[in-house]
Amino acid sequence: MNLVIDIGNTLTKVALFENEALIHLHTYPVFNAADLPFYYKKHRIKKAIISSVGANPEKIVNHIRENEEGRALMLDHQTPLPFKVDYKTPETLGKDRLAAAAAAFHEFPGQNILVVDAGSCITYDVLTKDGTFQGGAISPGIRMRYNAMHTFTQKLPQLKPEEGAEITGKSTAECMHSGVLNAAVCETDGMIEKYLQRYDNLQVIMTGGDLIYFDKKLKNNIFARPKIVLKGLNIILENYFEN
């Protein structure tokens, strides 16, 4: 059994994998080393991987190594990956982007791949068919766009996303929903089109917490993979200890 801990900007996801199968997933507002015994006492965990986009997870890693007597990997830019990375600043590359790329490469080996992750930011990452991570683009996410309109204007309210925004709003709130949600879909379609023009036989995968606002609304065909980051972390963990 593998333990996968993904510490994001707002939530921490903790998953258990048996080989490649995801068998347990729980989300925490805050996760720390004191929560680990719950997993190690109930399951036969052989190894663990910890990924964090911000907070330092060193205490969690050390707890596993010292108290649980387990093998633990803290993902960073020096961790061996199942693909090459052609990126000018690998130390600044988001670990969630690397994990999603690992899962995409595993699912579509030998093909050009675009991974779109609709989270706090919307990221676009390309893996070419020779197994090279090329980089991509970063754009403000849906909630960031709502927050920006409220923060940088005096009268626009603080809103949360709602499904089914009409293109022509009849109130300030409806106009904001249209401007955020419909524009984000159009932007994503446009970015996908640009990558399709550059890379032949491109497989497009989309994931992220805001996937629901894009899935079935995009003109371009995509493979929706909501848990691809967790699956990618498990693949990186297996790759690390196998080698």
- Assess contact for 240 and 108: CB atoms under 8 A: no
Please give the order of strands across the beta sheet that includes 12-18: 21-28, 12-18, 2-7, 47-52, 71-74
Look up tokens 């989300």; give the residue. Answer: 27
Residues pairing with 122 in the sheet? 118, 139
3-state DSSP percent of the chain in helix, strand and coil, to 5: 35, 25, 35
Beta-carbon-side half-sphere exposure of residue 107 (alpha carbons within 13 Å):
21
224 closest CA partner among 104, 75, 126:
104
| Cα pseudo-dihedral 139, 213, 16, 39, rounded to 10 | 90
**Is 215 assigned a catalytic role?**
no
Annotated catalytic residue, options 96, 117, 125, 210: 96
Other beta carbons less than 10 A from residue 150's beta carbon: 15
Catalytic residues: 96
